[in-house]
Amino acid sequence: MTRRRVAALISGRGSNMAALLAAAENPDYPAEIALVLSNRADAAGLAHAASRGVRTAVVESRAFRGDRAGFEVAMEAELARHGIEVIALAGFMRVLTEGFVARWEGRMINIHPSLLPAFPGLDTHARALAAGVRLHGCTVHLVTAGVDEGPVLAQAAVPVLEDDTEAALAARVLTEEHRLYPAALGWLAAGQVRVEQGRARLSGVAMAKGCLANPLPSAPALSTP
């Protein structure tokens, strides 16, 4: 099996990138993380990647203030140098230009901490709490020009609890991100994803059955006359 050469793009902690690295340690996983690329030299995830023997690179976005094209040319050079075929955005906090996104169409995925199309953008957990939703979660999607708008590959839902804090909810979602992202990248790398009329279609992937409800709808108490 030839494994697809993946770059994980990070801006900070890199816990999703670490989950991808862990999955790729299995030789049967269809992707190898050939590069961890950060737009910040102080991203904590870089040290973790290096400690696992994974190649790392930094293209400081701050050095290209106001020059997004120049920033992306520098990133493309790193991606080409490492023979990258697929990009996994993993907490990469820069918006990419339409040109960059078009060049990587169908080959770039992102993980977002909400059940898209609910709560695109930032502060998703605080916004979910403020909106009072009972289910929240994360989404892996193909990246298209519209931010957080591309075809959805996979989603995981978690309950929002009555006494939740933003931190508790974020942690519950993050646990699911770490399970979902390696699976979704594996499906893309194995060629199990195609896009039809703007919708991602998966082949050979087991679909969940049943339903997740919160609160649990137990049978209502019967009042006897």
**Are 119 and 128 spatial neighbours (Cβ–Cβ below 8 Å)?**
yes
Give φ, ψ of 25 to 5 degrees.
-70, -20
Cβ neighbours of 65 (radius 10 Å): 10
Helix axis angle, 124-131 relative to 166-189, nearest 10°? 120
> What distances in angstroms separate CA 5 from CA 57, 68, 77, 108, 206, one per listed residue?
15, 25, 15, 12, 25
Confirm or reject binding of residue 136 to ligand GAR (CB under 6 A).
no
Residue nearest to ligand GAR (CB): 91
| Residues 170-189 as x/- pattern, contact with ligand GAR by CB under 6 A | ----x--x------------
- Is 90 an interacting residue with respect to ligand GAR (CB under 6 A)? yes
91 binds ligand GAR (CB under 6 A): yes
Told to judge if 136 belongs to the known catalytic residues of this protein, a careful annotator would answer: no
Catalytic residue among 48, 112, 136, 178: 112
Examine residue 48 and tell whether it contacts ligand GAR (CB under 6 A).
Answer: no
Asked if the peptide bond before residue 215 counts as cis, ω within 30 degrees of 0, the response is yes
Sites for ligand GAR among residues 102-131 (CB under 6 A): 111-113
Q: How far is the CB of 89 from ligand GAR (least distance, A)?
A: 7
Active-site annotation, residues: 112
Contact residues: ligand GAR, CB under 6 A: 10, 12-16, 90-91, 111-113, 174, 177
